[in-house]
Structures are given as C-alpha cells and as structure tokens.
Amino acid sequence: MKEHSEVRVDAASKIAGIEKYTRDLRIKNALVAGTVRSSKAHARIESISYDDNFDWSKVTILSAKEIKNNFVAIIKNDMPYLAEKEVNYIGEPILLLAAENETILIEAKKHIKIKYEELAAAKTLKAAIDRNRAEDLFEEILLENGEPEKTFENADSIVEDIFETGFQEHVYLEPQVVVAIPDGNTIHIKGSMQCPYYVQNAMNELFKGSEIKVDVTQIMTGGAFGGKEDFPSLICGHVALLARKTGRSIILSYNREEDIRFTTKRHPSRIHAKAAVSSDGKILGLDMDILLDSGAYTTLSPVVLARAVLTSFGCYRIPNVRIHGKAIKTNISPCGAFRGFGGPQSLFAIEMLMEKVAKTLKIPVWEIKKANMLFLGDKLPTGQPIDYSYGLPQCVKKVLKSSEYEKKYDEFKKYNENESAKAGILKGIGISLAVHGCGFTGVGENRIKAIAEMELLNDGKVLVKTANTEMGQGVDTAYKIIVSEKLGLPFKDIIIEEKNTSKVPNSGPTVASRSTMIVGKLLLDNCEQILDALSLNDVEFSSQDFKEAAIEYFGKHDSLVVQKEYKHPKFIKFNEDTYKGYGYPVYSWSANVAEVEIDLTSYQVEVKKFYTAHDVGKAINKQQSEGQIQGGVIQGIGYAVYEALSMEDGEVQNRGFRDYIIPTIQDIPEMYVDIVEDAYFNGPYGAKALGELPFVGAAPAVASAVSFAIGKIARKIPLTPEVIATLIENSNYEY
Amino acid sequence: MNIDLTVNGKPVSIEAEPLDRLLDILRDKLELTGTKEGCGEGECGACTVFMNNKLVNSCLVPAMHLHNANVVTIDGLRDFDFFRFITKAYEENGAVQCGFCTPGFVMSTINLLRNSSEKNVGDEEIKDAFAGNICRCTGYDKIIKAVRQLLTMDIKVPERFYE
C-alpha cells in the first residue's frame, strides 16, 4: 500500500464549527435531567423527604423503586442505575430529576433531604487492603511461569520497591452528554459515546420483560479516551428511564465539575515488584503484586487488571515469574476504562524496577534494559512466542539515533555534577521501552464475534457499516483509506453509515486499539467479497471498471450486502485459568526518550524534549498516526508530571481545569516521532494497534529522566513539585 | 432585561436575565452552535468569540455586559475569504482530531493572524496566543505547524469584523 496522509474526512466541518455534537442537536420539546447524589461514601439510605413548601408539579422524580432491572449490564452487573437502600460512594446517583430547565432542577435539589445511616467505608486502597475482606476482591489473577521461588532463593541479588500511580481524569473536551427521544414503544438514544452496542446491550437488559425497544446512535464525539466506553451505559439508562416515565425527550448533560467529580477515572495502582538479578544485570525472575484501586463497583476492572498482568513484564525476557494481580473495591467513584487500560500502571512498575536494578548494580539503566530486551523468537512468560511483527529493535535504533541518548547521558551527568548548583537546574534523560497488546485481551475477540458489513449501492458506491465510532482518533478516514485502496474508489464513493444500532451490525466496541486492526481487516475482507461478486478479484481494474461491473450486477440482482465475522487465526489461543497462551494476537512496540529539567527553586519538572519510535505494523494514515502518537505522549506526560486528582475522605476535590492541571500548549516538549512498520500478517495492510501505545511509554520515560536528574528512583507518579521536593529533600523517602 | 446587540453583523434584540451567559445566548437563543462549551470557567477556550473586537471566553460574559456589544463568532467568520486558508492549513497539517476545541483554536488563530506577520512571531508568541486554549487530542504540535504555515502566507484578515 502506498503512503497515505489523507486529510481527515471530518476536518473541514470541525474547523468551520458546523460539525454537530450531541449538545448541538436541537431536540424539540425536551426536558433537562439532573442527578441527586449520595453525600456519603458508604451508608444505608434511611429516608428521602421532599419539602412540602416546594412546587413539585414542575419536576419529575424517578427513584430506584421504579426500576425493575436495576443494574448496568457490563461484566458483573453489580452497579445499579440508582441506589435504593445503600450507597457505596460519594456521588452515587440516588434520584433522577427532570424539568423544563436547569434553574428548576437546581432549586428542586435544595428541597430534597436524604437521611443516611453511615456504614464503615474503605475510602483508600490502603484502608481496603487493611480491611482484607473477600467480598472486596473484584478480581484476582495469578500468572506463574518457570520456577520463581527457586530463582529468588538462588539469585545473586534481589531488587525490590513499591511503585505507585495516581488517578487520572480523561478530560475529553466535550463533557458527558446523552439524550433519549421517546417514539411510541421505542426510545431513541443519541449521545457522545464510544460503544453504541454496549449501551444497546445495557438497555436491552434494563427493559427486558417490558414493551420498550431501544436503538442507539453515536453522535460525533468530542474526545473519549476510554471515558466514554463504560460510563455512557449508566447515563443512557438514566435518560431512557426518564423518557419512559415522562413521555418527553430528555437531555442529560454534565457540566465540567460534575464530569470531573463523578465520572470514571484511571485506576490508581500500588505495585510491589521484585527482581531476581544476576551480578551482570540479567533479570532471572520477577515477582509482582499488582493492586488496582477499582472504586465502588466492578465496571471493567477485571479486564483492566488482566491487561495490567499481561503488560507487567514489559519488553523483557524474564523466564521465571509470579505475577499476582488484585482489583479491589473501595468506596470511591468507580474507576473505568482509560487509554492503556491497566498497561500504563504495570509498565511504569517494570520500567522503574529496571531503574532500581541499574542503580543497585551501578550499571547504566540502558545497559540493563538492552541486556534483558526480548529477541525475536523469545517467549513471554505466558508461553507466547514473539516471532512475528516485532519492530522494537528498530524502534530502539531509531530513538537512540534521534535523541543521541548515549551521548547526552554522559553530558547531562557532567552538567549535574558541575553546573546544576549554579544554574539551579537539574537535567535528566530517560528511556523507556513500551508494549501494548493489540485488541482485546485473551479470548475476548472470539467472544464478541465482531461483524462488519458492506453494501454495494446501485450507483457503484459502497456503504460501510460498522459500529466503530469517530471520537477524534480518525477511524472514519482510516476506513475510507482501507476501502479506497482495495476497491480503487475515491473517498466520495465510500459512505460511512451512521453509527446507529438499527443500521450497523455489532462490530464490537471502539476500544483496545482494535478498530483498525480487527474491524479494518474485516472491511478488507468485505471488499474481497464484493470484488468476488463482481468477478473483479485477481484482475486489474479501474474505478470506471468497478462502476460498470456494479451497474451490470444490478442488472441481474437487487442488492449486494456482504458480511464478515472475525475469528482469530487458529493458533491464537489463551487459557483464562492459567493465563497461558496468546494474551494478544500481536503487540505494538515503542521506544521513548525524554529529556527533563527540574527547577531547584520550584521543583517543577519540565519535559524539554521527547523522542519516540512506534512500531504500529502499518500507519494507515501517516499524519493522523503521528497525531495519535503526539497526543498520547502529551497525555502521558500529563499523567507523569501534572495531573494530580486529589481524593480526600472519599471525595474528588478537583472542580475543573483550575485545579486539575493538564498540559497546555506552553507545557509541551519538542517532539520527534518515528514510525516503524513491521507488518502484522492478519491486520489490514499489516496494521496493528496504535491509539493507546503512545500513552503507555511516556510516563516511564519521564520518570526515568527524573530519576536520572535527582539520583533517586521516582517511584510514584504524578511527579508534582511536592513529590519532587520530598524525593530531593527526604533521604528516607526510598523504600 | 432586554438587550440589543450585534451578532455576526446582524442586530439582535433578546430577552435575558442579567447573569445569563453570552455562550448560552449564542447557542440556545440564537442557534449559533459553532461555539462550544468545554469547561464553563474560562479555562479551555472552546467558547472563544470576539466581543467588541477582543477575544473573550463567552462562558464568562454575563448578559448585562452585552448591551450594544458587537459579538462575532465562528459562525460569522467561516464564509470570509481568509477562512479557507485557515481550513487548508489546519487540514494539511493534521491539526484537528476530535474537533471540539477546534473552533476556539480557530478564533485565536484569526486573532493572531490579524495582529501579526511572520516577522514578529516565533514559537513563543504562537504559544502565548494559544495559552487560553486547551486541546486533549493533538498534543498541540500540529496546530502550531498549521499556524506557522499560515503566518508565512500573506493572508488578509480584516482588522475588525462587521463594523
């Protein structure tokens, strides 16, 4: 395939401000919805009372009592749409209100009193661990390989530490918003979301046994990053229930404060990691205890933990491992999907453990990483061989060259010894190797049985039908490139069907960096099916030939609709009990170098330069691929340095962009992006995962650079000035 | 209260409460939805518009300050000749992803273009010009490239709009 850097199909409409997002829809005669929430982290609801002096005739109130199937269908179905007898976190929805306008809602909320009987709560991960209750364990995974016990007994040295990562808020620029439009027994749901079929499935469960039918349409989504994967099912239920009750259209639109306080976050982690090391720096064994703070309900925590476990050995050849993961319930707002999905947490731990090994053995960190890096043909601790599409060595070569890492490593050391005190600045350079398992974990893809559909129209155009949503990542444009390349059609003859569950098949959720690799491949198969039907396979043809063949086809037939269901290649198998086998069908890889400066007065870390090389199999759209990489890196730098979500007494303290700081244009480093294309045999034109990987490698590279600068292991992110000050000033800080 | 103002060159008369936000007046009363709300506290810049020829966050402007004001939004600018150069530069440089922040960035771009030529604008000045706009998708690099390209072109942007 030739190189593409196509202009996004939605660029012009977004630049001109004519693209319609959910709040831009003009929904006639709609009521606005609001949520009455728990003010307690864990309590029994004793009573709810409504002030008699308030005019309730203008407000519709909906409580849990009115919901027959009161659970959000996802993995464990443990989260209710509304709490009935017990609340499990501050902010948990208890009542829904609907009224003509926001002002009435605000007033009405002041006239509702909820009495609670407080119950014991675990408001922090530590409290939950100390409490040690079996019922707080959402998921537990053990992956063992080789002889970890013996390896640790016989090791030259054992290096260990505890690594911690914080919450992170997605900060999609468009806050959560969904609408429900009743139409007889049907409720049409529209909104900002990643996965219309997740919502469809949840609505089918919610209204099971009733006459209500639901269809779901994704509207152009203003950023998501995982934040609109699981969460929209909850609020779509809210609007659907209100629409059924009132018979009116309902708009539920979170403002930024509500969004930051009460929507899902990235799981914080606490990881105790131990390496059994030979005197020359070979990692012979790895022992990790991964704890994820999951919040009050299960949501996607079991799969987030699975990815954390399967990412825990990073890009290294480690024969003997014991990886033990736990997703633990706490009484805080539930954590959910976020770009990287457990990977960033455990990759941070393994990369920083490498730093610690290097420091302990007094060997430069890159020597340690190089000595332990996977070779083509090596096996992961799951038994999966890495014997195809392994572009990491090329990434390493490129990034060492572009960054001049080795030269700067010595220069910065000298600078810190001789000049830093005078300049008041410490310099650091860090390196990270990162991996992202492409697509769903384990057998997930075989379970979902994704279907893509393509229809040949009688004017020779094709209609592409998938449920994969455009949220900024450029999937619509990528699909047009894939189809255009195969059918020889111009973009205008390739029409992307609306992401409406009554119009498109379930091609699976838009998550796990799977849309291009899995569904893009199905579309390529669909193209082959169409070419077969037109007798154009294996022959050279022009777009004119295609048109003529289409017209000829419709002379004899009424329609041509082709479908293809995804199945992994036969050898891709995974055992969910032992965690052995192919955790993922293939992996994407990156090598990253960060240069930082730390101001010794303010303790602020500034990332000055960032170099990265990504092996994505094939960059379907070169320019948008770079854009994904740059955006992911900056979000990862935010995770590493700026984004401190403050949780106190079970409650998010941040209220918006004033006190939840994400990188602005003033905070970005100079960026150098290289793309490596080590093709994956089963991806379209060789493409594999892209969207999440850029995030995964960024924070460890920055933390590696910070560790270099201050001479201590930066074992906790975000590295805010407070943490840096503690690291520099407190000699007892290290574990 | 009744307020008379000019929006995108057209005189309008609206009924509003003193503390109603300009953003809501534009979006809900005047159906001008090109201007977006990202934070509602003047931090993200998605709601940027010109008011009396200066960039403002429309989420922070109360109706009581609008009497006789001249407000210009992205909806009133997209048909100007210069706008197609901005579209082209943003497109060619891949400066758009989810697009929710984009109208705000475009407003700041227009403001920068009419006040500058390449000679006095380096990367620091570009970064200053967008200090009030937040983007979560792109990492900003491609937006900066688009703006740099625009600054090298001789684009005529009016000093004032609809006056």
A665 contacts chain B (CB < 8 A): yes
Q: Is residue B158 part of a domain?
A: no
Residue A733 pLDDT = 44
| One domain for residues B71 and B102 | no
Q: Is residue B121 part of a domain?
A: yes
A19 contacts chain B (CB < 8 A): yes
Stated as kind and residue range, the H or E segment containing B141 is helix B141-152
For A625-682, the pLDDT digits (tens) are 999 999 999 999 999 999 999 999 999 999 999 999 999 999 999 999 999 999 999 9
| One domain for residues B72 and B113 | no
Contacts of A223 in chain B (CB under 8 A): 97-98, 100, 136-137
Give yes or no on whether A269-441+578-729 and A450-565 have one common fold.
Answer: yes
Last residue of a domain, one of B28, B53, B76: B76
Integer Cα distance of A469 and B84 in angstroms:
28
Number of domains chain B contains: 2
| One domain for residues B147 and B100 | yes
| One domain for residues B16 and B72 | yes
Find, in chain A, the residue whose alpha carbon is nearest to that of B102: A15
B146 contacts B93 by C-beta, under 8 angstroms: yes
For A341-369, the pLDDT digits (tens) are 999 999 999 999 999 999 999 999 999 99
Using DSSP bridges, classify how beta strands B2-7 and A60-63 pair: parallel, antiparallel or unpaired: unpaired
Looking at the domain A450-565, which fold is it? Aldehyde Oxidoreductase; domain 4 (3.30.365)
Q: Is residue B163 part of a domain?
A: no
CA distance B20 to chain A (A): 11
Average pLDDT over residues B34-43: 97
Contacts of A13 in chain B (CB under 8 A): 99
CA distance B22 to chain A (A): 16
Residue B60 sits in a domain whose CATH number is 3.10.20.30
The residue written with tokens 């979301």 in the block is A193
CA distance B8 to chain A (A): 14
Residue A274 pLDDT = 98
| One domain for residues B91 and B116 | yes
Residue B126 sits in a domain whose CATH number is 1.10.150.120
| One domain for residues B89 and B146 | yes
Q: Residue A729: is its pLDDT beyond 90? A: no
Q: Is residue B162 part of a domain?
A: no
Q: Is residue B43 part of a domain?
A: yes
Average pLDDT over residues A541-566: 96
Last residue of a domain, one of B76, B98, B115: B76
Domain spans, chain A? 29-120+170-262, 269-441+578-729, 450-565
Stated as kind and residue range, the H or E segment containing A110 is helix A102-110
Tell me the average pLDDT of chain A: 97
For B71-139, what is the HEC assignment?
Answer: EECHHHCCCCCCHHHHHHHHHHCCCCCCCCCHHHHHHHHHHHHHHCCHHHCCHHHHHHHCCCCCCCCCC
Stated as kind and residue range, the H or E segment containing A261 is helix A256-262
For B121-147, the pLDDT digits (tens) are 899 999 999 999 999 999 999 999 999
| One domain for residues B7 and B70 | yes
Last residue of a domain, one of B56, B76, B96: B76
DSSP state of A698: H
The residue written with tokens 């609007």 in the block is A239
Q: What are phi and psi of A163, to 5 degrees?
A: -115, 140
* Contacts with A, B 89-148, CB within 8 Å: 90-94, 96-103, 106, 127, 130-131, 133-144
Task: Tell whether domain A29-120+170-262 is in CATH 2.60.40.1220.
Answer: no
A393 contacts A369 by C-beta, under 8 angstroms: no
A76 contacts A298 by C-beta, under 8 angstroms: yes
| One domain for residues B70 and B127 | no
Residue A735 pLDDT = 35
- Taking CB atoms and an 8 Å limit, are A627 and B46 in contact across chains? no
Identify the residue among B98, B107, B126, B130 best suited for mutation to test binding to A, counting A beta carbons within 10 A and taking the highest.
B98
For B70-96, the pLDDT digits (tens) are 999 999 999 999 999 999 999 999 999
Q: Residue A734: is its pLDDT beyond 50? A: no
| One domain for residues B96 and B62 | no
Looking at the domain A269-441+578-729, which fold is it? Aldehyde Oxidoreductase; domain 4 (3.30.365)
Q: Is residue B161 part of a domain?
A: no
* Contacts with B, A 208-227, CB within 8 Å: 220-225
Range of the domain at B60: 2-76
Give residue B119's pLDDT band: very low, low, confident or very high (50, 70, 90). low
Tell me the average pLDDT of chain B: 96
- Taking CB atoms and an 8 Å limit, are B97 and A175 in contact across chains? no
Identify the residue among B80, B141, B142 best suited for mutation to test binding to A, counting A beta carbons within 10 A and taking the highest.
B141
- Taking CB atoms and an 8 Å limit, are A175 and B87 in contact across chains? no
| One domain for residues B148 and B130 | yes
Half-sphere exposure of A578 (CA within 13 A, CB side): 12
Q: Is residue B7 part of a domain?
A: yes
In chain B, what are the helix, strand and coil shares in percent, each to the nearest 5?
A: 40, 15, 45
Q: Residue A144: is its pLDDT beyond 60? A: yes
Q: Is residue B69 part of a domain?
A: yes
A139 contacts A328 by C-beta, under 8 angstroms: no
A722 contacts A597 by C-beta, under 8 angstroms: no
Give residue B163's pLDDT band: very low, low, confident or very high (50, 70, 90). confident
Half-sphere exposure of B150 (CA within 13 A, CB side): 34
Half-sphere exposure of A619 (CA within 13 A, CB side): 21
Contacts of B78 in chain A (CB under 8 A): 16-18
Integer Cα distance of A387 and A213 in angstroms:
48
| One domain for residues B87 and B70 | no
| One domain for residues B16 and B62 | yes
Integer Cα distance of A166 and A391 in angstroms:
30
Comparing CA positions, the residue from A509, A75, A616, A124 lying closest to residue A306 is: A75
* Contacts with B, A 541-580, CB within 8 Å: none
For A200-227, the pLDDT digits (tens) are 999 999 999 999 999 999 999 999 999 9
